[in-house]
Amino acid sequence: MTIVMSALVILNLAIVLWWLARADIFRKFHVVPPHTGKSQWTSPAGDNPSHSQPVVVDRIGGTGISRVAHRQAHGVAARLRGLPRSRTNALAETSLPDSNVEDMMELLPLPAVMLGEQGFIARANAQTATLLGYTPNELPGKHFRLLIPEANGIAHDVPAVSSQNPARGNHGASPSREQWARRSDGKDIRVDLSFETLRVNGRNMTLAFIVDRTDRYELNRNRQDLMHLSRVSTMGQLTASLAHELNQPLTAILSNVQAAQRFMARDPVDLDEVREILDDVVKDDHRASEVIRRIRTVVKKGDVDIAPLDLACVIRDAVFLLRSNAILRGVRVTLDIDSALQPVRGDKVQLQQVLLNLLLNALDAMDASPPADREVKVTLKSDGHDRVRIAVRDNGHGLSADRLDRIFKPFFTSKPQGLGLGLSICKSIIDTHHGRLWAENNVDRGATFYVTLPAGTLAEQDTLRYQP
């Protein structure tokens, strides 16, 4: 979005320069058409002789805009950034002649396409052609759907609003949105798309900015794959306990069905007893289904889903999945949860992944502790200033000073079979949620891992900046 805003500043700047030039404020200088690949700026006849010699400068990008003008433009841009939005909008409402539009578009630092009110391409700068594999002359006259296949629901948004009031238009930038763009060779690439409207020769036109996000998209996809593999690995560690968790309701279902068969063989049949048995079967079936649902929630692979969350439910779901594992290890898990906390905004699967990892680490830390001392305590409290804090405390052996400094670094592990990615991924998830994850040794024994997350109003503000 920063690149797009820079482009909008330059666009408005170009409009300002053209407007000032039309007002004859820059009358001392005019561009002499170049003959040898150079632009010459001279003063008009009758002006101070000291300015009569041409100043020869290199051309920039074939646009005929001199480096001197470019430096002057950046000087004005610094002042233009301080103008109120209403001032820049008023400048954008100035109707530009076609002759100035092409030079302005080539000055923009990113791919840009000028669209008519029906979504057809009027102009495209060289950067657009390079990014999408066309020549600039191929694109005018084509529909924007050629470049953005989903343009039916997008490209018309701004022009449609503009056409409702042709005299005023819909000036200003639209929010950036992520879309697929199609190259001339048929390959789809991920881009950020945003629009700016302006008037050209009295007509409402739309300038579409296209920012290549292929590298960011691939990075995010690889990151999601890594987190998914980490979740699958975590659930792999719980295979025995989850099998036990499923075996209990399945065994109960089998026993109840066998009992029902015996009751059905009697004469007369005790229907009340059979109904009670069937109710138990339904309850056990729901219990088994709930285990499977929670497992699927953790291991599923999908896009990030940011939504309001009750952290108490996230914690209870994680503890539910670890319940049998804790029983088999002889560990007591206690919860101290403030149910009156404001919700956070985040991805439920990712935050549950963090809780599962911290809880498993706490269970592992107490394998060598006496059975009577094996306890994990999970607390959820307000941290003040629209933030909540989760604490996972164990009574294990604690963390040495060197481990405390390195536990969140990738590939650092103290476990013989560990990869050293669990806590690193957890920290990445919490950072993405605008929170903080850290660990401290307890005063008596063991260690506590803390997570703070924005909640309430602060969470809503932070979500606006969230980029998985």
Contact 101, 200 (CB under 8 A): yes
Contact 421, 226 (CB under 8 A): yes
Which domains, and CATH codes, for the chain? Answer: 2-212 (3.30.450.20), 219-463 (3.30.565.10)
Average confidence (pLDDT) over 243-255? 77
CA–CA distance, 169 with 171 (Å, rounded to integer): 6
pLDDT, tens digit (0-9, with 9 covering 90-100), for 112-142: 888 887 888 888 888 888 888 888 788 888 8
pLDDT, tens digit (0-9, with 9 covering 90-100), for 266-283: 888 888 888 888 888 888
pLDDT, tens digit (0-9, with 9 covering 90-100), for 315-359: 998 898 888 888 888 899 999 999 889 899 988 888 988 898 899
**Beta carbons within 10 angstroms of residue 208's beta carbon:** 25
Contact 446, 398 (CB under 8 A): yes
Q: How many residues does the chain have?
A: 468
Average confidence (pLDDT) over 55-63? 33
pLDDT at 36 over 60: no
Q: Among 233, 215, 240, which residue's Cα sits nearest to residue 357? A: 233
Contact 166, 151 (CB under 8 A): no
Contact 318, 350 (CB under 8 A): no
pLDDT of the residue at 359: 92
The residues facing 193 across adjacent strands are 177, 210
CA–CA distance, 133 with 126 (Å, rounded to integer): 10
CB within 8 Å of 130: residues ≥ 6 apart: 111
pTM of the model: 0.51
172/77: higher pLDDT: 172
CB within 8 Å of 366: residues ≥ 6 apart: 329, 331, 373, 374, 375, 376, 394, 395, 396, 446
Out of 18-32, 151-165, 236-250, least confident range = 18-32
- φ, ψ of residue 221 to 5 degrees: the values are -65, -40
pLDDT tier, 466 (very low <50, low <70, confident <90, very high otherwise): very low
pLDDT of the residue at 170: 42
pLDDT, tens digit (0-9, with 9 covering 90-100), for 256-268: 888 888 888 888 8
pLDDT at 34 over 60: no
How far is residue 95 from each of residues 33, 99, 280, measured CA to CA in Å?
A: 25, 12, 76
Instruction: Enter the DSSP assignment of 96.
Output: B
Contact 120, 144 (CB under 8 A): yes
pLDDT of the residue at 151: 65
**H or E segment at 389?**
strand 387-393
- Token pair, residue 30, equals 């005019």
Contact 449, 404 (CB under 8 A): no
pLDDT of the residue at 420: 65
Q: Please calculate the CA angle 49-51-55 and round it to the nearest 5 degrees.
A: 140
Torsion of CA 158, 163, 165, 169, to 10 degrees: 40
The residues facing 441 across adjacent strands are 447
Distance of CA 331 to the CA centre of its chain: 38
Q: Among 216, 236, 215, which residue's Cα sits nearest to residue 422? A: 236
